[in-house]
A and B are shown apart, each in its own frame.
Chain A
Amino acid sequence: MKSTSAVRTAALFFGFAFLYAPIALLVLYSFNASRLVTVWGGFSTRWYASLLENDQLIASAWISLRVALVSALIATIVGTCAAIALARFGRFRGRIAFSSMIYAPLVMPEVITGLSLLLLFVALDIPRGFWTVVVAHATLGMCFVAVVVHARLVTLDRSLEEAAMDLGATPGGALLRVTLPLAAPSIAAGYALAFILSIDDVVIASFTSGPGSTTLPMRIYSQVRLGVTPEINAVSTILIGLVALVLLTGFLLGLRGRMKQA
């Protein structure tokens, strides 16, 4: 049993190396003095400096942030409702159809989702812009939130809610005062997930956004197609740093929560 632990450690090492090496290289070369991304020309922060001048990039970053914040909020609210319905409403009519609609967008290729939403907006004669992207991202996000929150609701001890009702709470009251607070960490995780999906997305945004609402990934993508520059490395490093910060905070908070329990 013990003899394979060396193999397991190796598997972990190579696996994580594979996962993180490209990211590490990306960060490293963002400090490349040379303009050529693949030739190291010495250490420099010039690309970060030029980022500050890149108004277009900053504008689209701002748009992305707003889209993400709003769409994630909508996604969390509607998605949590869906999770509650799936977890607590038993066998309601149309449950299978409902459930299929929740799980389908998780795996469906984004080009299909993006195309279909754009065609909807065209058919309804809705001008594409900030809100169409928000709606599109919220649609995808709510499915992820629903799945995450549902997974948590299903493992919660029902007897807690039953105890609340036994003590006089209505089913709705028990839900609000007992279930949702207990599910709060996963609802927060759902929000974070929807937020990140929105900030990352390029395909759906390309289909559903309009003039004046070019998101950051769209901007990065069009620049990448033209050619690689270390400026993109710099933007990427900043984004990675942000995500790492959020993750670290979440992890430490989770740790503190666990230690308080112990």
Chain B
Amino acid sequence: MSARRSAAERLVLGAPWAWLAVFFLIPFLIVVKISLSQAALAQPPYTPAFDLADGWEAMVGRLGELSFAAYAGLAEDWLYAQAYLSSLRMALISTAFTLAVAYPMAYAMARAPEHLRPVLLVLAIAPFWTSFLIRVYAWITILKDEGLLNQALLSLGLISEPLHIFATDGAVVIGIVYSYLPFMVLPLYNAIARQPPELREAAADLGASPTAAFWRITVPLSGPGILAGCLLVFIPAIGEFVIPDLLGGSDTLMIGRTLWVEFFDNRDWPAASAVAVVLLALLVVPMALYERSQMAEAQP
């Protein structure tokens, strides 16, 4: 097949290949390399710095200066491990809640009359198209101690003191669930809508009440959709930065924030790179899972 590839075909395949190689693969190699460097008061702020102008031999010579110091630093300081674990915990909790909110919605959408479904789909996806930042910002005004939620609850007499949600882990979970909801609804909807209605009817015909049919037929068959949706939320949620930064408290520990702080505030590029490499290592398995599920789906 590849032997008789025309020039045009080579371009069509080559262009994205080259782009991703340069702007995706190589950057990762660079991140790994930086993680093996040491912070320095220099521009760029790490050493050794490989400068092509110095010549190949000089660069090879500098290889000896690479070290695992940054990783050692990660291992020594318990804070990093805490941040990873805390991110994992938040991501898991958020994914679970997102699933719980999204499933009934997706199910109701899939069971809606045929002519309504496109409208419902657009309505469910539309928030995703408005700025993510804006939507997180909206929650600030809602969740603050003097915010709209507390105002409403106080005036209804449901609580006597304002709920302290803002600047807690809880606010971050709400933010993640809210922002990532469309990502969960879409694969779930596809998985449920794809099931032929005869299956539900057959189950009813054979004696299953609607509830029994839901749990024994609909949910198991939507498995791939559940997996895709959960991965689509879990993986990016672990490395989330904006949401914990805006909605979380000073004690909300998430690895995305740690990376940001190391890089921008501490100017410790090797440390930030090491954080990224370790994070990526942790995510390799879920990411591979996700890619496997997507490629299996995409097979014609």
Contacts and interface: CB of A to CB of B under 8 A. Distances in A.
Direct A–B contact in complex, judged by CB atoms less than 8 Å apart: yes
Interface string B260-300: 10010000010011001001100100111011001100111
Interface string B13-27: 101110110011111
A139 B24 contact: yes
A6 to B, nearest CB: 11
B12 A112 contact: no
Nearest to B24: A101
Interface stretch (A47-55, A160-168, A195-203): A195-203
A111 B300 contact: no
A220 to B, nearest CB: 6
B30 interface: yes
A228 B141 contact: yes
Given A19-B127, A116-B276, A78 B111 contact: no
Interface string A70-91: 0000000111011011100111
A105 B181 CA distance: 19
Contacts of A232: 137
Given A109-B239, A112-B280, A11 B107 contact: yes
B101 A18 contact: yes
A43 interface: no
A183 interface: no
Interface string B21-46: 00111111011001000000000100
B88 to A, nearest CB: 13
Interface stretch (B68-76, B78-86, B145-153): B145-153
Interface centre among A19, A25, A203, A217 (most CB of B within 10 A): A19
Contacts, number: 247
Contacts of B283: 108-109
Contacts of A101: 20, 24-25
B142 A25 contact: yes
Interface residues of A, number: 90
A140 to B, nearest CB: 10
A40 B150 CA distance: 14
B65 interface: no
B291 A99 contact: yes
Given A22-B178, A108-B287, A239 B131 contact: yes
A84 B9 CA distance: 10
B23 A135 contact: yes
B290 A103 contact: yes
A86 B111 CA distance: 33
Interface centre among A3, A77, A138, A228 (most CB of B within 10 A): A228
Given A78-B19, A99-B295, A22 B239 contact: no
A122 B270 CA distance: 14
B172 interface: no
A115 B276 contact: yes
B235 interface: yes
A111 to B, nearest CB: 5
Interface SS of chain A: helix, strand, loop or mixed? helix
B138 interface: yes
A25 B134 contact: no
B15 to A, nearest CB: 5
A154 B241 contact: no
Contacts of A105: 24
A89 B19 CA distance: 18
Interface in B113-148: 118, 120, 122-124, 126-127, 129-135, 137-142, 144, 146-148
Given A22-B139, A26-B134, A117-B23, A85 B12 contact: yes
Contacts of B30: 116, 119-120, 123
23 contacts: A3-B210, A8-B111, A9-B108, A15-B104, A22-B139, A23-B127, A26-B141, A29-B141, A81-B15, A89-B1, A89-B13, A102-B20, A105-B24, A107-B235, A110-B236, A111-B256, A120-B27, A146-B16, A200-B133, A220-B137, A228-B137, A239-B130, A240-B130
For the complex of A and B, list the 10 residue pairs with the smallest distance between their C-beta atoms, beginning with the closest. A109-B239, A116-B27, A15-B105, A11-B104, A82-B16, A22-B138, A8-B108, A107-B235, A236-B134, A120-B27
Interface of A: 1, 3-5, 8-9, 11-12, 15-16, 18-20, 22-23, 25-26, 29, 37-39, 77-79, 81-82, 84-86, 89-94, 98-112, 115-117, 119-120, 122-123, 135-136, 138-139, 142, 146-147, 150-151, 154-155, 172, 196, 199-200, 202-203, 217, 220-221, 224-225, 228, 232, 236, 239-240, 243-244, 246-247, 251, 254
